Structure 1
Amino acid sequence: MPHANPSCLLACEILWDCVEDHPPQQGGATLNVAYHLQRLGCRTIPVSSVGSDRLGNQSLSIIKNEWCCDISEIKVLKDVGTGVVDVKIDAAGDATYNIHTPAAWDYISISHSAKNLACSAFVYGSVALRSAFNQRAFADFLQIYQGLKCFDVNLREGQNNIQIVGNFLQHADFIKLNESELEQVAAHFHITSENIEERIFALTSIIGHKIICITRGDKSPVLYWEGNIYHGQVIRVDVKNTIGAGDAFFAAMINALINPDFDPTTALYKASALGSWVATKAGAQPEYDNNIMDKLFNYQAVL
């Protein structure tokens, strides 16, 4: 279990995923992370904005009443609508996204009261960096924040400036990205190696010795921690779709890292277990059941 009273501040894109032939589902990469951290026993404080509209009101109700999260740092904007994303799922269950712009989450203000919270971790992602407003807000906060800075790299076609993402990598303590995103980041920093471990070592020589985790779909994840490389387990499941699986993985890793008894092998197993379980579900924020709770909190029993 995580240590007593851990808390995380998360700069969230609050949006709704509109999948063909399905009702809209609440999503957003860092909001999905917030959901899973809350379910894992961490106190989560989402920082974001929604529109003064039906979807915005629905999000506030879900986050407050169903998740039992503090919504005082979520602002309601009159002039910009709540975020919407069109999602297409291919035959393999992989998702592609068309993110509408502008959206309320392009204007995430980190208030004075939020800045004074003594949170264990601050979570931010590259998706929200598409707006200059968020770039300034995040950069200002990262300069003063003293806890674990967790950066989720989600490179979306036409949504991200790799130069800006590269700059924000250097602010982070813990970085999560997938194999394709590592390739793009490596190209940005002129890293020519094709080997994943060599790419990680080359990247750390440029941006500093961060904690770096690479997710690889149906292959084992790779973790760089304190100068060493660790490989996780592959957990085979029948994939329904991949929406939110990486976010669940990231949440489990953050939850492990803010635990003083962090063990990289255990952390990778639990993160893979949670991410693969989410991939069997229809949405990114499924209700937890006894099976997944056993895997997450009774690790030795399932080996």
Structure 2
Amino acid sequence: MNNTIVVGMGEALWDVLPEGKKLGGAPANFAYHVSQFGLDSRVVSAVGDDKLGVEILDNFREKQLNCMIEIVPYPTGTVQVELDAEGIPCYDIKEGVAWDNIPYTPALEGLARQTTAVCFGSLAQRSVVSRETINQFLDAMPKEGTLKVFDINLRQGFYTKEVLCNSFHKCNVLKINDEELVTVSRMFGYPGIDLQDKCWILLAKYNLKMLILTCGVNGSYVFTPGNVSFVETPKVNVADTVGAGDSFTATFVASILKGKTVREAHELAVEASAFVCTQNGAMPEFPMCLKEKI
């Protein structure tokens, strides 16, 4: 497992919360949590030549998080985050920013050829530059034995049926939550059947290795051809839910890469994401007892 490289690709930004700004963006959250399990992870994104961009790079260095971040002539991304009474975030995501303009470079192609697992979403594909870079990266990865995880992450109106359809074809693992599944079902014409049936349809239609469905407090499922794993969501005191889904994905991927079964990986992912919900912000350090299980 020494030469396994895991990449989180897409937005790197500041979540501007009521109590101040926190480093955010699903790819960075994912890569950070993967690195906590001793795997070689990288964040691929872009920042502006500005104070916020410098602070992101400094922050990654402090967290000892490896990255391939290009500096581009656009402002570093920010998101205004308001939390509702239940601690659920609402986002206002600024457009025309650095991570919309991630260039495809020879160095990035070299990284793709060595990448064992990648996680990408729909948000960073809202602009043509980053979308093409993500697609080229996926195509340059080794053909066999890789995990291409599409953590769909629907935000505001920043997705189209075409982008989603292409990503379903490019990935071999789909992660989606119950609300996103309803949206996708409406777009793709699977209304009126239950959530599990929708998952089986997507798994078969796009020839996926796995489909992960998270349903908040109502538990989570991992569908693999011919099998389904269900794990209840533990009851915890929620500080906020920011980054909980990313920690789930990261822990699941790290567990699979370390040879755990789908069921074991699923249980560990639920445990990790429940812990993150008890902490403020998206990148808390996992307790040693959790790291040691993987």
Q: TM-score range by the shorter chain?
A: over 0.9
Residues 39-118 of structure 1 aligned to structure 2 (within 5 Å): 39-64=36-61, 66-71=62-67, 73-77=68-72, 79-117=73-111, 118=114
Q: Give the Cα–Cα distance (whole angstroms) in 1 for the partners of residues 236 and 104 of structure 2.
A: 39
Q: Give the Cα–Cα distance (whole angstroms) in 2 for the partners of residues 295 and 61 of structure 1.
A: 27
Residues 230-245 of structure 1 aligned to structure 2 (within 5 Å): 230-245=229-244
Q: Give the Cα–Cα distance (whole angstroms) in 1 for the partners of residues 5 and 15 of structure 2.
A: 27
Can you give the 5+ residue segments of structure 2 that lack an aligned partner in the other structure?
A: none
Shift of 1:137: 1.4
**Percent sequence identity over matched residues?**
29
Q: Is the 8 A contact 2:203 2:210 kept in 1?
A: no
In the superposition, relative to structure 1, how do residues 134 and 227 fare at CA in structure 2: closer, same or farther (>3 Å)?
A: farther
| Amino acid of the structure 1 residue aligned with 2:134 | F
User: Structure 1 residue runs of 4+, over 3 Å off?
Assistant: none
| Amino acid of the structure 1 residue aligned with 2:289 | D
Q: Please report the TM-score for the alignment, with normalisation by the length of structure 2.
A: 0.93
Shift of 1:193: 4.4
Shift of 1:113: 2.3
Residues 120-135 of structure 1 aligned to structure 2 (within 5 Å): 120-135=116-131
Q: Secondary structure at the match of 2:103?
A: coil
Q: Give the Cα–Cα distance (whole angstroms) in 1 for the partners of residues 35 and 139 of structure 2.
A: 26
Shift of 1:41: 1.2
Q: Is the 8 A contact 1:11 1:108 kept in 2?
A: no
2:12 is equivalent to residue 14 of structure 1: yes
Q: Give the Cα–Cα distance (whole angstroms) in 2 for the partners of residues 39 and 110 of structure 1.
A: 27
Query: Which residue of structure 1 lines up, in the alignment, with residue 223 of structure 2?
Result: 224
Q: Give the Cα–Cα distance (whole angstroms) in 1 for the partners of residues 110 and 42 of structure 2.
A: 13
Q: Is the 8 A contact 2:88 2:240 kept in 1?
A: yes
Query: Which residue of structure 1 lines up, in the alignment, with residue 290 of structure 2?
Result: 295
Q: Secondary structure at the match of 2:78?
A: strand
Query: Which residue of structure 1 lines up, in the alignment, with residue 202 of structure 2?
Result: 203
Q: Is the 8 A contact 1:43 1:69 kept in 2?
A: no
Shift of 1:279: 0.9
Give the length in aligned residue pairs. Answer: 289
Shift of 1:296: 4.4
Q: Secondary structure at the match of 2:65?
A: coil
Q: Give the Cα–Cα distance (whole angstroms) in 2 for the partners of residues 108 and 232 of structure 1.
A: 37
Q: Is the 8 A contact 1:209 1:227 kept in 2?
A: no
Q: Is the 8 A contact 1:110 1:137 kept in 2?
A: yes
Can you give the 5+ residue segments of structure 1 that lack an aligned partner in the other structure?
A: none
Q: Is the 8 A contact 1:270 1:296 kept in 2?
A: no
Q: Give the Cα–Cα distance (whole angstroms) in 1 for the partners of residues 122 and 109 of structure 2.
A: 20
Q: Please report the TM-score for the alignment, with normalisation by the length of structure 1.
A: 0.90
Q: Is the 8 A contact 1:193 1:199 kept in 2?
A: no
* 1:61-95 C-alpha deviation (Å, 9 max, x unpaired): 1112x222333x21112x31110000010111111
Query: Which residue of structure 1 lines up, in the alignment, with residue 248 of structure 2?
Result: 249
| Amino acid of the structure 1 residue aligned with 2:43 | P
Shift of 1:149: 0.8
* 1:106-128 C-alpha deviation (Å, 9 max, x unpaired): 01123222322312112211110
In the superposition, relative to structure 1, how do residues 264 and 59 fare at CA in structure 2: closer, same or farther (>3 Å)?
A: same
Shift of 1:5: 4.2
